Amino acid sequence: ESLFSRKFSDSGEESLFSRKFSDSGEESCLSRNQSVLYRKSSPRKPSSYLIAKLRSYEELHKRCGPRTDSYKRSLKQLKSGQIDHNSTDCKYVVWVADCGLGNRMLSITSAFLYALLTNRVLLIDQKQEMADLFCEPFPTTSWILPEDFPFKNKLGGFNQKYDHSYGNMLKNNNINYSTQLFPSYLYLFLSHNCDHHDQLFFCDQDQALLNQVPWLIMKSNVYFLPSMFLMSSFDQELDRLFPDKETVFHHLGRYLFNPSDRVWGLITKYYQDYLANAEKRIGIQIRIFSAKTSPFGSVMDQILGCIQKEKLLPEVDTEKSIASPSKNQTSKVVLVTSLFQGYFEKLNKTYGEHPTKTGEVVAVYQPSHERKQQSWENSHNVQAWVEIYLLSLSDELVTSAWSTFGYVAQGLRGMRPLILYKIGRAIPDPPCGRGVSMEPCYHAPPIFDCKTKKTVDTTTFVPHVKHCEDIRWGIKLL
- Give residues in contact with ligand GDP (CB under 6 A): 99-103, 287, 337-339, 368, 370, 373, 375, 380, 383-384, 387, 403-405
Quick one: three-class SS letters along 225-272? HHHHCCCHHHHHHHHHHCCCHHHHHHHHHHHHCCECHHHHHHHHHHHH
Tell me phi and psi for residue 67, to 5 degrees. Answer: 75, 0
Least Å distance, CB 355 to ligand GDP, is: 29
* Nearer residue to ligand GDP within complex by CB, 302 or 338: 338
* Nearer residue to ligand GDP within complex by CB, 88 or 403: 403
Q: Which residues of 207-225 are buried (b: 16+ CB within 10 A; e: fewer)?
A: bebbeebbbbbbbbbbbbb
Percentages helix, strand, coil for the chain (3-state, rounded to 5) are: 40, 15, 45
β-pairing verdict for 396-400 and 280-286: parallel
Q: Which residues of 286-308 are buried (b: 16+ CB within 10 A; e: fewer)?
A: bbbeeeeebeeeebbebbbbbbe
* Nearer residue to ligand GDP within complex by CB, 75 or 106: 106
Which residue has its beta carbon closest to ligand GDP?
100
Q: How far apart are CA 447 and CA 454, in angstroms?
A: 8
Residues ≥6 apart with Cβ < 8 Å to 164: 183, 185, 186, 187
Least Å distance, CB 100 to ligand GDP, is: 2
* Nearer residue to ligand GDP within complex by CB, 230 or 391: 391
**By C-alpha distance, which of 405, 98, 100, 412 is closest to 420?**
405
Phi-psi region of 162 (alpha: psi -120 to 50; beta: other; left: phi over 0): beta
Q: How far apart are CA 172 and CA 161, in angstroms?
A: 12
Least Å distance, CB 132 to ligand GDP, is: 16
Least Å distance, CB 424 to ligand GDP, is: 18
* Nearer residue to ligand GDP within complex by CB, 46 or 102: 102
Least Å distance, CB 408 to ligand GDP, is: 7
Least Å distance, CB 432 to ligand GDP, is: 16
* Nearer residue to ligand GDP within complex by CB, 211 or 375: 375
Least Å distance, CB 387 to ligand GDP, is: 5
DSSP 8-state assignment for residue 273: I
Least Å distance, CB 333 to ligand GDP, is: 17
Q: How many helices (H) and strands (E) does the chain have?
A: 15, 12
* Nearer residue to ligand GDP within complex by CB, 101 or 263: 101
Q: How far apart are CA 398 and CA 306, in angstroms?
A: 9
* Nearer residue to ligand GDP within complex by CB, 263 or 384: 384
Tell me how many degrees the CA angle 250-254-259 measures, rounded to the nearest 5.
140
* Nearer residue to ligand GDP within complex by CB, 380 or 466: 380
* Nearer residue to ligand GDP within complex by CB, 237 or 370: 370
β-pairing verdict for 92-96 and 185-189: unpaired
Least Å distance, CB 338 to ligand GDP, is: 5
| Count of alpha carbons within 13 angstroms of residue 324, beta-carbon side | 2
> Is residue 187 packed enough to be buried (19+ CB in 10 Å), middle (13-18) or exposed (0-12)?
buried
Least Å distance, CB 292 to ligand GDP, is: 17
